[in-house]
Structure formats: structure tokens, C-alpha cells
Chain A
Amino acid sequence: MATKSDKIDMQALLEASHINEVLDKLDQDLVGLVPVKQRMREIAAYLLITKARLQLGIEAAKPSLHMCFTGNPGTGKTTVALKMADILHRLGYIRQNHVVSVTRDDLVGQYIGHTAPKTKEVIKKAMGGVLFIDEAYYLYKPENERDYGQESIEILLQTMENHRDDLVVILAGYQDRMGTFFKSNPGMSSRIAHHIDFPDYDENELLEIANMMSADMHYNLDSGAEKAMQDYILKRKQQPHFANARSIRNALDRARLRQANRLFNDAIKHKKDTTAADLSLITAADIRASRVFSGGLDGESDVKKT
């Protein structure tokens, strides 16, 4: 004798949110990251069920949604945060599908009394959506007890508690340093509901990423270039400041520069006409000219900036 109020059409709920499309797109767009995708699915399912429970009145309070993404640079934390915002928005947990991405500089002031208004301003801007704090561990500097970061953390904690319906905070950073950060800020740790760890990409995944990226930019790697890319990845991984997908993007950007230079020189020498295919082809030479192959470090832009 089910009355109307103790049954819910899960199918309709699922379809209305289009959540499957987002998850499928996530599978397509992101190479590797299997555990991350798995967690995203779990969280999405959990949120959908909670939504149903809320509608039936089994659950009274909205669940805590604050998250922590840990992983090395270039493993897709920001990209996943955007997707997560999309999922939360579709399920109605946040009102605006927007992500405000900040770092320590945006939150912490430079003199006494500067921090609180600065942090509050950022929080107000992020309200209704997701606040993504990159390299969150920089907020806490134990070596300097007068650091203003602590003040910022306290305001964040207060907001995370009092405005749970208005704001979702996602902290991101290297795993070990986030661990230290949480150890010294237990209040923060206990308010984070979901920890997601981002693994590094392996060589094959990085090559796949390189292919996807160049396709996105409407470039082709010929088979020689692909082999060169493979070697590049192996060599680059051994070097310091390797930033996973970001290093690949930078390598491709530089290969494009070299390609443009090559075509330019060819044109000057009137060697031949340039076709559309030439314009979008990256050859092995474009990649092998990288300093990584001559034992040097590639590109200053790789030097640390998450």
C-alpha cells in the first residue's frame, strides 16, 4: 500500500539531471585517472540517492560536500573540479555552475586586518558555486606563527560550516603536503567529506594525452613524431619539475613554435607550396629539437607553477 509520498521515480530523477551524460563525457575526455572516475561515479550516485532521500523526507540535512583533491601537478585536479561543479549543479546541490579558482595570494592579506576582507570577498564571489583553493597547504605556514594564513583558514572553516548550502570548497595540492596541512588543521580535515587522490599518468596515457591535445588544437603528429613524443615523455619524466599533462602541453606548444619556424623558413626559401596538411603536421624533427634530447632542461615555463 505505497502512498505517493514513499515512492520516488529514480529513473526520472536520473534523466532530469543528465548525470550520466556528464559521467560518460568525463570518461571520454579524461585519459586514465581510473580511480578518480570511479570515485566521481560513487559520489554522483551517493548525491543522487541523497537527493531522493531528501525528497522523501528520510534525510533532513544536506550532506557535507567539501572535497580535497590530492595529486601531483598536471594530473587534472582543476579539470575534474570543473566537472564536479557541473555534477553538483545538475543535481541541484549548488545554484550556480561556476568555479572560483584561487590560491594563497587571493585569500591572505599582507598586513594586519587585510586578510579577513580579502578572504570574505573571495567567499562572496564563490557563493552559490564551488571555491577551488589550489595549493591549499600554503595557507598554513607553521614556521611563521604570525602568518595571516591562519586567519584565512578560520574564516574558511566558519563559512564551510555556516554556509554549507551556499558553498562547496575544494582544496587541492600535493598529497604529502596536504597531509601535513590536515594534521595541523584537524578542523579542516573533519569538514572534508570526500578525499580524492589523483594518480600520475603512465607513459602510454601521456602519449594518448599528447594525441588528444594536438587533435584539439587541430594538429597531427605523424608516426615519427609520435615515436619522438614517446621518447620525449620517457626522458622528460626523469627530469625535475615534471608536471604530467601540463608538461605535455608545454612540449606541444614548443613543437608548434618550431613547426611554425620550419614552415616559415621553407616559405622563405621558396622550396614548395604549403598545404593545409603541412600547416597542421608536426614532424619528428619538431619534437626532437627539444633540449630534453640534448640532455638539457626543457622550457623555463615548466619550472613550477601549478
Chain B
Amino acid sequence: MTNPNGIVTQGQFSFLPALTDAQITAQIKYALGKGWALSVEYTDDPHPRNTYWEMFGAPMFDLKDPAGILMEINNCRKTFPHHYIRVMAFSSVRGVESPTMSYIVNRPKHEPGFGLVRQETDGRNIRYTIHAYATDKPEGERY
């Protein structure tokens, strides 16, 4: 197994132990110092190609202090305790205009992981894809 922790690894810091609030605050501070706008997103579909997560509230422009964003993260954790929650930083610099940071700050207690699905196609060719066990259940009941 390439993922010894058995957890979804997406974005930054995902091979490290979960960030503490103090560490998250420090990361937010860094992003704010760069002038990036932060937002909080959540999902319960852990597929790596699921890039568009639901946004929790509006993106937060013009904030000066990490406390406001941490407050929003905690609100999101309270609302979706068993979802994946990530913090995104967006740079509006002309020519960049894209996310610059993204890291998971909340994950389900138990992550069943992915199964390998083999599809037989023409000429006995095999197509491989991965399938999250969690997504067998409907949205909102997965974890």
C-alpha cells in the first residue's frame, strides 16, 4: 500500500498528521500576508477528480486576521462534522488568477478508501478505474 495512513491525500500537508488549529491559523496568516482570498469548501465525495467542492459561505475577501477564517472553518466543522473540509487560497494577481493553496482541515473518522474497478471492453481489453466505497451511499449519508 502506498498510503500507509489509509486516508485520502489531496492538496497540501495531506501526508502529515492533521493540522492543529494553531497550525491552520499560521497557514492562513501566510496566505493573508500574500493578499490571497480564502474560502472554505466541503464535500463527501473523495474521488480525486472531484475538483469542485461545495463552497461554505462566500469567499472571504478583505480579511486582515486569521480569526475570521478560523471561525468559518469551525462553523463548517459544526455543520458537516463527517465531511471533508478544505481551505482554499485564491490569488487574484493578473496572470495567476487561480487557487494557490488547498489543504484539508477536516475528514471523516473512518475512510473506507477506494476499490479498483475493471471494465472489460472490446477485444478483451481492460479499463481500470477507481471507485470510492463511500459513494455507494447517497450524498449526505456516506460517512
Q: What residues of chain A have their CB less than 8 Å away from a CB belonging to chain B?
A: 95-96, 98, 117, 120-121, 123-129, 163, 166-167
Contacts and interface: CB of A to CB of B under 8 A. Distances in A.
A127 B65 contact: yes
A126 B63 CA distance: 7
Interface in B21-76: 57-58, 60, 62-69, 71-72
Contact of A121 (B58, B64, B65, B69): B58
Given A117-B57, A117-B58, A125 B67 contact: no
Interface of B: 57-58, 60, 62-69, 71-72
Contact of B63 (A95, A117, A125, A163): A125
A98 B64 contact: yes
Contacts of B62: 125
A123 B60 CA distance: 11
Nearest to B60: A124
Nearest to B72: A124
A128 B60 CA distance: 15
A253 to B, nearest CB: 30
A21 to B, nearest CB: 24
B68 A128 contact: yes
Nearest to A98: B64
B63 A127 contact: yes
B58 A127 contact: no
B57 A95 contact: no
A123 B68 contact: yes
18 contacts: A98-B64, A117-B58, A123-B68, A124-B60, A124-B63, A124-B71, A124-B72, A125-B62, A125-B68, A126-B68, A127-B63, A127-B64, A127-B68, A127-B71, A128-B65, A128-B67, A128-B68, A129-B64
